[in-house]
Amino acid sequence: MQSNSMPDTAEHAADATRILLVEDEFLIRMLVADHLRASGFAVVEAFNGDEAIAILKSGARFDLVFTDVRMPGSTDGLALLGFIRAAHPDLPVLMTSGHLEPHLAYAGGAVRFLPKPCDLDIVVDELRAALGPAT
C-alpha cells in the first residue's frame, strides 16, 4: 500500500469483514451501523441504491451487502441486487424489507432475506451465517 493511501486502520485492514449497509431510513441505518460496528464489522453506510453503486464502482472491497428494498433514487434494492449479481457475482447480498415477498429476493440472487422489523442481534447472526464460519 502506498504511503499516501488510506492507512491500515480497522476499517481498512485486510482481515476486517466489510459490510455495505444500504438503508434510506436514517435512524434505522444509524442503529444498524452502530450495532454492526459494535459487533466487530467495518461498515460503510449508503443511503440509497445509487450511493451503493457509486461506492461499489469505486473499487472499494466489501464482503457482503445488506440492503433495504424500497429506497428513493433511481436504484431500489432489487435493481441494486441485479447490478451486484452482474458486476460482483461473488458478493453476497442480504436483503430486508417490510413489503417484498421473500421469493422475489431469492429469485434475484439474494443469499438471505430478513423481514422488517428485525432484531439487531438476529441481523448479526444472519450476516455471520451468510459470510460463513470464518466471521
Partner 1 sequence: MSVDQSILVIDGDIISRHAIADYLRHCGYAVVEAATTDEAMTALAEAALGIDVILCDIAAIGERSGFELAQWVRDNRPELEVRLAGSLDGAARTAADLCETGPHLRRPYEPTAVVDYVRQLRAARGRA
Q: Under the criterion CB under 8 A, does residue 5 sit at the interface with partner 1? A: yes
Size of the site for partner 1 (CB under 8 A): 27
CB of 29 to partner 1, least distance (A): 8
Radius of gyration of the chain (CA): 14
Which candidate, 1, 2, 35, places its Cα nearest to that of 19?
35
Quick one: which of 16, 18, 35, 55 contacts partner 1 (CB under 8 A)? 55
Q: Is 82 helix (H, G, I), strand (E, B) or coil?
A: helix
Give me 110's grid cell.
Answer: 439474494
Site residues for partner 1, 59-118, by CB under 8 A, read 59-60
Stretch that binds partner 1, among 7-15, 95-103, 117-125, 127-135 (CB under 8 A): 7-15
Residue located via cell numbers 450511493: 51
